Amino acid sequence: MINKNELAKKINDLKGLTNDEKSALVELLRTQKKYGLVWEDKIENVEKRLLENLPVLTEVKERAIISDSPDAPNHILIEGDNLEALTALSYTHGEKIDVIYIDPPYNTGNKDFVYNDHYVDKEDSYRHSKWLSFMNKRLKIAKQLLSDKGVIFISIDDNEQAQLKLLCDEIFGNLDFVATIPWRKRTAKSDVPHYLSQDYEWVLCYAKTNYEAGIKKETRKYFETQDFPGKQWRIHDLTKQTTAEERPNSFFTIINPKTGEEYPASRNRTWAVTKDTFDYYYKINRIVFPGDYDFLKIDRPVLRYWKDEDDKKLGERAGFVSVSSHIAEFVGMTQDGTKNVTEIFGEKAFGFPKPLSLICYLLKISNPHDNNSTILDFFAGSGTTLHATMQLNAEDGGHRKCILVTNNENNICENVTYERNKRVISGYVTPKGKEVEGLKANNLRYYKTAFVSRERTNENMRKLVSLATDMLCIRNDVYIEKSFGNVISRELVRYFEDDKTQMLVVYHEEVIPAIVEMIGTVPKRKEKIKVYVFSPNRYAYNDEFYDVEDRVMLCALPDAIYEAYKRVLPKKKPDYLSEVLHELKGQTSETEESSESMQSTYSKPVLDE
């Protein structure tokens, strides 16, 4: 991809060209278009904050819901702008998210999309640009969070579906486009413009190459008979719903060589094989006729499959079948989502929620052989994705973990997202008086975004490490704080431990000798102790930990956080194209007017109204 800024500087340095010629070349470069979307990149208020500050996540401990079950998965709810939260997650969960589901604002112009604290209405000539700019920044970070088997599902309607598809093609270019999945959101209405009811929305799906969709199927029934001892087999239909005209080579009569009974193909349902292929299958014992086995109730020849061939073909997908991009109506519509919320709250506490059954379905077909995945929804809304995650775990004994992100506009995070899942965990009573048992084997932890200045002073770096301790707990999925050896002030060091993980956070390097001595006295585990040490640079005090190097995994902070954030934080980029044009054309008012006109022509998004 051409770096236009660099090329503009080279044009400016060329010898033998007049300023007018250089200016013409730069203008050509600036107006050059490519296939895809062009839009005005509008800066958000949140980006302005991130130009000056680093986001961190801090726990609101009084809202934590902790299960009595020691193996309960830890789910995370983050209150804050999702761009800030995604930035923080780039450190805690880089390449660790297996499934992302989001239901972003559809930008209908009906007060559903807020940009810089203002609703974007239908009359805003840049409403598509604002939405694309908004989505572009978040999806770019989301891509970096996906694991090597990761998949992302995005719900959308016709207002932005075409634009979103092009945007995703550009962002997820090295991922596989899986499908645009239609979802029926309601039954048909007659009182609609043009008398064509828009009853469907869409779910765009992109995935890493290691991703496989599928769904558990009923266990296949295999037989073992005396004529094939130790070799299990099953049967499969040998006909196909095609006409004789469509498959003339498969329109023939099968004759049972043992009985002489004839089985002709019908004109509207031919055999699935040709005559030559049938003869070959019969020769290798793949054909089963009616009467061959008393326990089989068949009225025509069928094809025999061997279990070892199935297992070899399916590999780790044994027990799963592919799914259609058509979502059956049993998955539910918008009215079912409203019913889900109403049953929990006794009222319609959230508008147009996705049905629980839809999210359960999407999660169920995502890497179906793995029920320990990590799931992210950064447009959490009423919190359906976490509800679905806990529901699936209860059904199949899985250990899926879910991360939700939402702002607290109109107290939605506190009063809807959190409250809904709190009731799902603890149990609730429906408006009809039915008691619903809680999904108690789950932990839910509540976080808010906080900030530290990006300026790398010693004070700011120490503050960042201190505030980032909750993020380290999220990163390592360890939350139980204990004392470590001799009592040391929590201002100097903190220690976290569970059955799987040990984690030390060392805030002041002067306590390292005492820490090393204590590490040498505690029982050795299979897994190394994760030790995060404050350091003004990248040095993690490896020499000081030399005597216990086989027992620790060292990491220097805050450098590791800076490195993760560097890939996603907004940057102050000088616009060299504008600077070169300004230099070449001079600072006359006429030139400024010309430049403004050119800027407007170039920047106006081609898809905007």
Instruction: Give 302-311 pLDDT, tens digit per residue.
Output: 999 888 776 6
What pTM was estimated for this model as a whole? 0.76
Q: Which of 26-30, 104-108, 385-389, 416-420 has the lowest mean pLDDT?
A: 26-30
Predicted local distance difference test score (pLDDT) of residue 311? 67
304 vs 608, more confident: 304
- Cα separation of 242 and 267, whole Å? 8
Q: How many CA atoms lie within 13 A of 297 on its CB side?
A: 0
Q: Which residues pair with 529 in a beta bridge?
A: 552
SS3 39: coil
Q: Which of 26-40, 382-396, 454-468, 543-557 has the lowest mean pLDDT?
A: 26-40
Predicted local distance difference test score (pLDDT) of residue 422? 97
The DSSP line for 544-558 is TTGGGGGGEEEEEET
Predicted local distance difference test score (pLDDT) of residue 582? 65
Q: What does the buried/exposed string (b/e) look like for 353-365 if buried means 16 or more CB atoms within 10 Å of the residue's CB?
A: bbbbbbbbbbbbb
Cβ atoms of 595 and 582 within 8 Å: the answer is: yes
Cβ atoms of 50 and 420 within 8 Å: the answer is: no
- Cα separation of 410 and 149, whole Å? 36
Predicted local distance difference test score (pLDDT) of residue 271? 92
% of residues, the chain, pLDDT over 70: 88
Predicted local distance difference test score (pLDDT) of residue 469? 97
Picking from 264, 258, 224, 225, the residue whose alpha carbon sits closest to that of residue 244 is 264
Q: Which of 215-224, 262-271, 380-389, 514-523 has the lowest mean pLDDT?
A: 215-224
Predicted local distance difference test score (pLDDT) of residue 17? 83
Cβ atoms of 451 and 52 within 8 Å: the answer is: no
Instruction: Give 559-601 pLDDT, tens digit per residue.
Output: 999 999 999 998 876 555 566 666 666 644 444 444 333 333 3
Predicted local distance difference test score (pLDDT) of residue 604? 33
- Cα separation of 44 and 356, whole Å? 32
Predicted local distance difference test score (pLDDT) of residue 351? 81
**Chain-centre distance for alpha carbon 154:** 9
With tokens 């095609």, the residue in question is 242
SS3 366: strand
**Chain-centre distance for alpha carbon 543:** 40
Q: Which residues pair with 220 in a beta bridge?
A: none
Predicted local distance difference test score (pLDDT) of residue 553? 96
- Confidence label for 244 from pLDDT (cuts 50, 70 and 90): confident
Residue 61 has pLDDT above 90, yes or no: yes
SS3 148: strand
State the Cα torsion 92-457-454-88 to the nearest 10°.
Answer: 10
Residue 251 has pLDDT above 70, yes or no: yes
Predicted local distance difference test score (pLDDT) of residue 243? 85
Tokens at 604, concatenated: 């106006």
Cβ atoms of 132 and 606 within 8 Å: the answer is: no
Residue 232's φ and ψ, nearest 5 degrees, are -80, 150
What residue type is assigned to position 220 of the chain? R
CA 46, 49, 51, 57 torsion-angle sign? negative
Q: How do beta strands 239-240 and 270-271 pair?
A: antiparallel
Q: Which of 61-65, 231-235, 565-569, 592-596 has the lowest mean pLDDT?
A: 592-596
Instruction: Give 206-223 pLDDT, tens digit per residue.
Output: 998 766 666 554 456 889
Instruction: Give 309-368 pLDDT, tens digit per residue.
Output: 766 655 544 555 677 788 877 788 989 999 999 999 988 888 888 999 999 999 988 877
Cβ atoms of 504 and 495 within 8 Å: the answer is: yes
Residue 532 has pLDDT above 90, yes or no: yes
List Cβ neighbours of 459 (8 Å cut-off, separation of 6 or more).
none
Tokens at 7, concatenated: 């090329």
Element (H, E) at 463: helix 458-467
With tokens 């989001």, the residue in question is 102
Mean pLDDT of all residues in the chain? Answer: 87
List Cβ neighbours of 45 (8 Å cut-off, separation of 6 or more).
116, 117
Residue 435 has pLDDT above 90, yes or no: yes
Angle 530-568-164 from CA coordinates, rounded to 5°: 125
Q: What does the buried/exposed string (b/e) look like for 103-141 if buried means 16 or more CB atoms within 10 Å of the residue's CB?
A: bbbbbbbeeebebeeeebeeebebbbbbbbbbbbbbbeb
Tokens at 395, concatenated: 């059904």
Find the mean pLDDT for residues 233-247: 87
- Cα separations in angstroms, 270 against 260, 288, 304: 20, 17, 18
SS3 119: strand
The DSSP line for 472-495 is HHHHHT---EE--SS---TTTEEE
Predicted local distance difference test score (pLDDT) of residue 595? 39
Give the 3-state secondary structure percentages of the chain, helix then strand then coil, rounded to 5.
Answer: 35, 20, 40
Instruction: Give 508-527 pLDDT, tens digit per residue.
Output: 999 999 999 999 888 888 89
Predicted local distance difference test score (pLDDT) of residue 212? 64
- Confidence label for 51 from pLDDT (cuts 50, 70 and 90): very high
